[in-house]
Chains A and B, each alone.
Chain A
Amino acid sequence: SQQGEEDPQALSIQEGENATMNCSYKTSINNLQWYRQNSGRGLVHLILIRSNEREKHSGRLRVTLDTSKKSSSLLITASRAADTASYFCATPSMNYGGSQGNLIFGKGTKLSVKP
C-alpha cells in the first residue's frame, strides 16, 4: 500500500524557476525521506527530515514537515535542466517493528525542467 502520495504527479518549469512538490502520508512516522530517480535508474537519497524537525535545508533543497497534517514539501530553488527526474517521498513502515529498512514510497512527482 502507498504511504505517501505526491502532488502534483507531473510538473514542468523553466530553468531558474523554483519547483515545489508535496507529499502526504497516512500513519505516524519518525522520519521522512526524499529520493530522486533519473529515468528508470536507481534512486538517490536527497534529504531526510526527522519527525521532531519542521524544516531542513541542503544546498538548493528545502524540506518542510508538518506532522499534524501528515504532509511534507520539497522545494528545489533555481532549478536546472539536470534536476529533471522523478521525486519520491518515503517513510519507514511502522508495520515491521520500527525497522528502517522497509520504506514505503509515494507514486512520485515527475519534474521536467526546460532549458
Chain B
Amino acid sequence: KAGVTQTPRYLIKTRGQQVTLSCSPISGHRSVSWYQQTPGQGLQFLFEYFSETQRNKGNFPGRFSGRQFSNSRSEMNVSTLELGDSALYLCASRHDRGSYEQYFGPGTRLTVT
C-alpha cells in the first residue's frame, strides 16, 4: 500500500496570506489527524477527521481549519498567516477499527516571512 502523502512538501508564504495543505491517507484509512511541529512547542495536535466530520480539535485559534472529503483525503487551511505559524505540518492516518497506531506523512514545511 502507498503511504500517507502530503502536498506540497515545502511552502513559503508571507504574513497575512492563507495556505492550504493537502493529505492523502493510506487506502482504507478513514481517520486523518493533523499535527503542528515547532522547535519551541514540539508536536501539537491540531484536529482529527473521520468520515468527513471533525471529531476533535486541539487548542489552536480559529484561523486553523480543515476538512475531509468522501475519499478520506483531507485538507487544512491556515488564514491570515503569522510568523509563528512557521512549522512542519504533519498528517497521520489510522484505520480506526480498533487500531491505535498512526501512520505519518513526510510533512509540509511551511515558512512564513
Q: Which A residues form the contact surface with B (CB < 8 A)?
A: 1-2, 31, 33, 35, 40-45, 48, 88, 90, 92-93, 96, 99-108
| A to B contact number (C-beta, < 8 Å) | 69
B16 within 8 A of A: no
- What residues on A are CB-neighbors of B88 within 8 Å? 40
| B100→A99 contact, CB < 8 A | no
Partner of A108, one of B4, B33, B42, B90: B42
Partner of A2, one of B42, B90, B94: B42
| A102→B58 contact, CB < 8 A | yes
| A43→B45 contact, CB < 8 A | no
Distance of B30 from chain A, by nearest CB (Å): 10
Q: Which B residues form the contact surface with A (CB < 8 A)?
A: 4, 31, 33, 35, 42-45, 48, 50, 55-56, 58-59, 88, 90, 92, 94, 96, 100-107, 109
| B43→A88 contact, CB < 8 A | yes
Q: Which residue of A lies closest to B50 (CB)?
A: A101
- What residues on A are CB-neighbors of B92 within 8 Å? 43
| B106→A41 contact, CB < 8 A | yes
